[in-house]
Structure formats: structure tokens, C-alpha cells
Amino acid sequence: MSTKGDNHLAKRNVAVLICAQAILGSQMPMIFTVGGLAGQSLASNACFATLPISMIVLGSMITASPLSNLMQKFGRKFGFFIGAIGGFTGGIIGAVGLATGSFYIFLLGSFLTGIYMSAQGFYRFAAADTATKSFRPKAISYVMAGGLASAIIGPQIVKISAEAMVIPFLGTYIAVVILNFVGSFLFLFLKVPKLEKKNTYDLDKRSHKQLLSTPRIAVAMICAMVSYAMMNLVMTSTPLAVVGCGYSPSDAANVVSAHVIAMFLPSFFTGHLITRYGEELIVCVGLFFLAFAGIVALSGVQLENFFIALIFIGLGWNFGFIGSTTLLTNSHSEAERGRIQGMNDLFVFGGVTVASFSSGGLMNCTGGDHLTGWTAVNLAIFPMLLIAGVALVWLMRNKNPNYINS
């Protein structure tokens, strides 16, 4: 970790990770835009249309802890290369599934893409590894801001590639393969020192139960999981809802693009807001934005409703997720980071997996039409937001000194 006031290495790593978010990260809005539509064309039952998206987040959930442990042992660079290989392989297998018309092969490719999604989730932690405490929220925020470029690049590639070949969306998955190959070279310039062996003796000072019972850690994980899962619940069904309500796939891509821009654009100042107002307040604002998005979505299915709702879903995710991540990184020691970060992403992507599976069922199997399904999806976010809100208010009213200041 950088010494006090020295962030030269941290800034270098942030620059590399921003580029990785922009190039490699472009595959996520691409796949989330076309995955459900491709699944709809391959699946024998409409209820399974969003299963490819669900398989991505399932793969991410399953590989989060192993990846975190590998990074703890061999370094961040090693784990990020594995992620790129997963995305590369997933893109190839997804393309084969489309070319052969096999839904099951397509699902396998989606599952392997989850390895990349899991690795991408650790970019934010890698940004914090070499940063001082004062620069840490800004480093996390700047790396997340790299997703702004991916929000622009990804949907534009979809528009060019989705119908570029005889088989719909095949060109998009070929583009995903190219992005992973090219983007992986960026990690050659990343320099995050491995955890010193002398620090590993501290790993057993707090058990998993003790870590999870620490109020700040528990609330950070709950809020991160709810922010990400509820965003995914709505976003997974959005392309199906937009097209199902009579709009074009290009309209769906534009809505997703606006959503992803809203996810990452605030990252240029989220870190500054966290430094000034504290993690808890920023997470609270994020949860409010998510609730407001649900209200807008329930008020109508005009194209502007989709845009406004998905923009606020993106804003809510940004404030809720970055705030929760900062809260977590300030609540554990350096020696505990592998276990804590692995557990955190296991819970986060576990929640996202449940939300993703639920999204398809709510959207396609709750009433027989897209309007009823879209209503069910948006109603489902409020109970979870209430749970996160209560946990956060409890933490804010009961400050606990048990966190790391280094």
C-alpha cells in the first residue's frame, strides 16, 4: 500500500485500469444488450430468454472467491489475465452456440463470460490497493468512470455488428473475442505488489464469522448486494421490455447506453462526494435513486419512461455500489483483503444471480404480456431496497469504531 501522500504508483495503476474498463469492459453492455434477445431466439420457452444473462452472473458468483484467492497468492495481474481468457473463451463458445443454433452451447459461453465479469469486479479493489486512504475513494471512483467509455463503445459496436452477419448477433460475439484479446495486453503495464508474506500471518486473527459480524462490513455487503442486484434485475429485462412494447432493438441499445453512461459518468465526482460527506450518506442517496427509478418505470411505458428509469437505476447503482465498496475497503486490514473481497463479491454476485434468474421469470411468466412483466420486475425492487435502507440507517445511528484507518 502506498505511504502517506505518495500516490504515484496508484495513479499509474488507475490509468491502466481505466483503459481496461473502457476496452475490455465494453463487452458487458454489448452482451447485456443482445444476450436476452439472442436467448429469446434460441430458447424453446420464452421464460428462459434471459437465462444467458443469468448464466453470466452465476459464473461470476462461482468464480469470485477463487479469483480473489488467486490474486491474493499470485497478484492482481494474474487474476485479470484469467478474466480476459474467460471472456475470450466465452465469446468463442457463444458464437459457436449462435452459429449452430444450440441454446445449451450458448449458455456455456455465457457462463465462461462470467469469469471476466468477476475479474472486472476486482478492478475497483486493485485501484485501492496502492492508494492512500485519502485517495482511495477517488481511485475507486476514477476506475469506475472508465466504464463511461465502455457505455459508449459497447452499444455502438452492437449497432454495427448485431446484423452484420446472416446469423443475428454472431458478429457481436466475434467482436467480444477481439476485445478480450486486444484488451488483455493492458495488464502488462499494471503494477500491484503482491501481499507480503509476513502479513499473511495476520490472516487468521479474525474468523469469517467475526468479519461478517462487524457492522460496517455487514452493512457494506448488504448495500453493495442490493444496489447491484436491483440494478441487474431491471436492466436484464429492459431490452425485452423495450422491444416488447413496440420499440426497435436500436431503441433498446440506446436505453442501455444511457443507463450505462449514468452508471459511470458520476464516477468523476463520486469519490470527492464520499470524501466530503462520507460513505453512508452517498449510499443512502443511491438507494433513493433506485427507488425513484422504480416509480418512474411503473408510471408508464413511453420511451422516455424507459430512459429516465434506466438513467436513475444507473445513478443509484453508482452511488450505492461505489459508496459500499469504499465502506468495505476502510473496514478491513490489508492481510484480510483477499478473504473479505472474495466473500463480498460472492454475496454481491450471488444476489445478482438470484435477481437475474428472477428477472426473466418476472418479465415473461407473470401475466402473459410485456406490460405485466415489466410491472412485476419493478415492484420487486422495493422490498430489497427497504432492507438495505433499514440496515444503513441502523449503521448511521450506531457508529462503530471497528474499522481500519490505514
Residues 51 and 103: their CA atoms lie apart, in Å, by 10
Cα dihedral sign, 390-315-176-119: negative
| pLDDT of amino acid 333 | 64
Higher pLDDT, 404 or 374: 374
Query: Residue 175 carries which side chain, given as an amino acid letter?
Result: A
Query: Residue 395 carries which side chain, given as an amino acid letter?
Result: L
| Residue among 42, 128, 59, 332 nearest 215 (CA) | 332
DSSP-derived secondary structure letter, 368: S
Per-residue pLDDT of 352-401, as tens digits, reads: 888 877 887 788 777 667 788 899 999 999 999 999 999 999 988 876 54
| pLDDT of amino acid 334 | 67
| pLDDT of amino acid 37 | 82
Query: Residue 111 carries which side chain, given as an amino acid letter?
Result: F
Q: Is the pLDDT of residue 48 over 90?
A: no
Question: What residue has cell string 447491484?
Answer: 228
Per-residue pLDDT of 100-125, as tens digits, reads: 999 999 999 999 999 999 999 888 88
Q: Is the pLDDT of residue 202 over 60?
A: no
Q: In angstroms, what CA-CA distances link 357 with 157, 296, 329, 341?
A: 26, 23, 29, 24
Q: Is pTM beyond 0.85 here?
A: no
Spatial contact of 14 and 126, defined as CB atoms under 8 Å apart? no
367: buried, middle or exposed (CB in 10 Å: 19+, 13-18, 0-12)? middle
| pLDDT of amino acid 338 | 67
Spatial contact of 334 and 406, defined as CB atoms under 8 Å apart? yes
Per-residue pLDDT of 283-312, as tens digits, reads: 999 999 999 999 999 999 999 999 999 999
Radius of gyration (Cα) for the chain, nearest Å? Answer: 20
Q: CA 160, 316, 7, 200: dihedral to nearest 10 degrees?
A: -100
Residues 289 and 312: their CA atoms lie apart, in Å, by 6
In total, the chain counts a number of residues equal to 406
Cα dihedral sign, 219-127-196-85: positive
DSSP-derived secondary structure letter, 204: T
Q: In angstroms, what CA-CA distances link 15 with 100, 138, 146, 258?
A: 40, 12, 9, 24
Cα dihedral sign, 210-215-220-222: positive
Query: Residue 94 carries which side chain, given as an amino acid letter?
Result: G
Show the domains of the chain with their CATH numbers: 8-191+205-397 (1.20.1250.20)
Cα dihedral sign, 5-337-227-64: positive
